[in-house]
């Protein structure tokens, strides 16, 4: 029975010897997973592939999460069928990817991601077909379409807790790397040599941190040891891929712990170089502001509220911005243009490391720009700001700055009250501001001598208080 179960359906693309290993097999009475907890579409994909003569299993994070009594966010399938063979079995399937070919089987809004068993890349004198696999000189894998057996696939997965295969037909788990043992002991452990595995794909360092934070596990000491030294390898990862990883790191409900681990392992500076520098120069304020922003994000996710990457990224980058603004003001640039120029420079630098899409960079700049405008409340400016579509985000960001200890002269309290009072009380609040300026000896504006001349739009004076 076992011999039949583990029989390998080899792809014609790759032939040759491979190492065999015997998995630990857990029967339905030895694990808590029940078939009813699994997406019926995922079960359907596995059953159909098996009926067609292929091996097929649910694999990875969904199995791990079910063992931990966590609801999986998706279900992945691993199979001996090639992408083209999977595509031939399902009319609702689409082959995607170049670096790593996959098949997406669509069932309405649900997608079952199906991958062919992979094998380790050829090494040494073995022939390597660049159409199937290729490596960067650093060891990073550029293309990964070398197909192999179930045993091969298990050994080339990144972490032991992700090398678990569940067959919903027999309801058995195949554990090739002692993943169940590590789940019981709350450990994140790489399969194989950690240095080599990180060199193959430096993003595995971020994944180790993400899983440790999500599951509240420890990174096993041998798997943790090379991270600090190898962190600079992330500079070679495409910026678009790193943006996706940042969203996974900070928008999953455990951002504070993730941030702590990233700093501890020297990874935060690889993702946010300017912010890491600010953390060195002004550690208390920078750390507190970032923590408060991440804590608020985690709370909103726990409450089922929406979160926007723009606000969070604005907070992560903000500590690096004021020094740049001051530098430009010292050269004679007015406050608002200085803010805009510094923001453009900082975001441009950040996008070289993490490709933040324009749909997020624009709101980031508007939130920052609002910080320079919120102190300017005289005349009708307060009402104009209040009607702005970016007021709420700018106001919330102002409160975030104050929560980190930034002095704004009570600006947050003023705007909190201004939103709640009547129109007449708002006029009194604006009048009080003018009286304070008069008491402080602020110069009055001179009237134009030619009253018939058409007035142009009002401009902000460079000497207007900024509240900083």
**Which CATH number fits the domain 21-121+141-185, given the four candidates 3.30.565.10, 3.30.460.10, 1.20.120.1690, 3.20.20.140?**
3.30.460.10
Per-residue pLDDT of 321-368, as tens digits, reads 999 999 999 999 999 899 999 999 999 999 999 999 999 999 999 999
State the pLDDT at residue 100: 79
Closest CA to 47 of 101, 1, 7, 89: 89
> Which residue intervals of the chain bear CATH 3.30.460.10?
21-121+141-185
In this predicted structure, the answer to whether residue 464 has a pLDDT above a threshold of 50 is no
* Distance, CA of 106 to CA of 150 (rounded, Å): 24
**What does the alpha-carbon distance between residue 437 and residue 439 come to, in Å, rounded to a whole number?**
5
Alpha carbon distance, N-terminus to C-terminus of the chain: 74
CATH 1.10.3090.10, the chain: domain bounds? 293-437
Residue 129's pLDDT band, with cuts at 50, 70 and 90, is very low
For the domain 293-437, what is the CATH superfamily, name and number? cca-adding enzyme, domain 2 (1.10.3090.10)
Annotated catalytic, 125? no
- Per the residue annotation, which of 76, 144, 153, 175 is the catalytic one? 76
**Separation between Cα atoms, residue 188 and residue 190, nearest integer Å:** 7
Lowest mean pLDDT among 11-25, 85-99, 182-196: 11-25
The pLDDT score that the predictor gives to residue 144 is: 52
Angle of the 255-264 helix axis to the 239-250 helix axis, nearest 10: 130
Among the listed residues 65, 144, 152, 158, the single catalytic one is 158
pLDDT for 82 beyond 50: yes
Active site residue 158: yes
Residue 297 token pair: 């994000």
Does residue 167 have an active-site annotation?
no
**Long-range own/partner contacts, residues 81-89 (CB < 8 A, 24 or more apart):** 81/9, 81/49, 81/52, 81/54, 81/56, 81/116, 82/11, 82/13, 82/116, 82/147, 83/116, 85/54, 86/49, 86/114, 86/116, 89/48, 89/49, 89/52
pLDDT-based confidence at 119, cuts 50/70/90? confident
Q: State pTM to two decimals.
A: 0.82
Instruction: Express each pLDDT in 253-263 by its tens digit.
Output: 999 999 999 99
């Amino acid at each position: 029975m076992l011999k039949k179960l583990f029989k390998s359906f080899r792809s014609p693309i790759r032939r040759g010897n491979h190492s065999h290993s015997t998995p630990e097999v857990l029967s339905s009475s030895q694990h808590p997973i029940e078939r009813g907890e699994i997406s019926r579409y995922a079960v359907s994909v596995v059953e159909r592939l098996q009926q067609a003569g292929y091996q097929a299993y649910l694999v990875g994070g969904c199995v791990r999460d079910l063992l931990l009594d966590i609801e999986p966010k998706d279900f992945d399938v691993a199979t001996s069928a090639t992408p083209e063979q999977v595509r031939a079995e399902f009319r609702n399937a689409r082959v995607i990817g170049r670096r790593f070919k996959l098949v997406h089987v669509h069932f309405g809004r649900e997608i079952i991601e199906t991958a062919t068993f992979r094998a380790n890349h050829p090494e040494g004198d073995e022939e390597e077909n660049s159409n199937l696999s290729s490596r960067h000189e650093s060891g990073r894998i550029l293309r990964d379409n070398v197909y192999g057996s179930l045993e091969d696939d298990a050994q080339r997965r990144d972490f032991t807790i992700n090398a678990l295969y569940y067959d919903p037909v027999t309801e058995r788990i195949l554990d090739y790397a002692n993943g169940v043992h590590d789940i019981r002991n709350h450990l994140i452990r790489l399969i194989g040599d950690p240095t080599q595995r990180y060199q193959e794909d430096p993003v595995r360092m971020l994944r180790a941190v993400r899983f440790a934070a999500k599951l509240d596990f420890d990174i096993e000491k041998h798997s943790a040891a090379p991270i600090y030294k190898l962190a600079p390898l992330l500079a070679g990862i495409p910026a678009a891929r790193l943006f996706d990883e940042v969203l996974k790191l900070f928008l999953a409900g455990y951002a504070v712990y993730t941030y702590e681990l990233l700093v501890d392992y020297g990874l935060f500076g690889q993702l946010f170089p300017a912010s890491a520098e600010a953390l060195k120069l002004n550690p208390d304020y920078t750390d507190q502001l970032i923590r408060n922003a991440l804590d608020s994000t985690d709370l909103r996710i726990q409450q089922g509220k929406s979160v926007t990457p723009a606000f969070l990224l604005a907070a992560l980058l903000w500590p690096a911005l004021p020094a740049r603004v001051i530098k430009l003001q010292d050269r004679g640039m007015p406050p608002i243009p200085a803010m805009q120029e510094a923001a453009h420079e900082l975001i441009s630098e950040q996008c070289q490391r993490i490709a933040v899409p324009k749909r997020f960079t624009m709101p980031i700049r508007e939130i920052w720009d609002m910080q320079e405008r919120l102190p300017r409340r005289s005349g009708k400016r307060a009402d104009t700001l209040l009607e702005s579509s970016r007021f709420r985000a700018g106001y919330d960001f102002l409160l975030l700055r104050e929560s980190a200890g930034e002095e704004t002269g009570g600006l947050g309290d003023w705007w909190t009250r201004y939103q709640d009072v009547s129109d007449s009380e708002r006029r009194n609040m604006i009048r009080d501001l003018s009286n304070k300026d008069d008491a402080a000896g602020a110069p009055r504006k001179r009237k134009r001598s030619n009253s018939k001349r058409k007035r142009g739009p009002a401009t902000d004076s460079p000497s207007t208080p900024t509240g900083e």
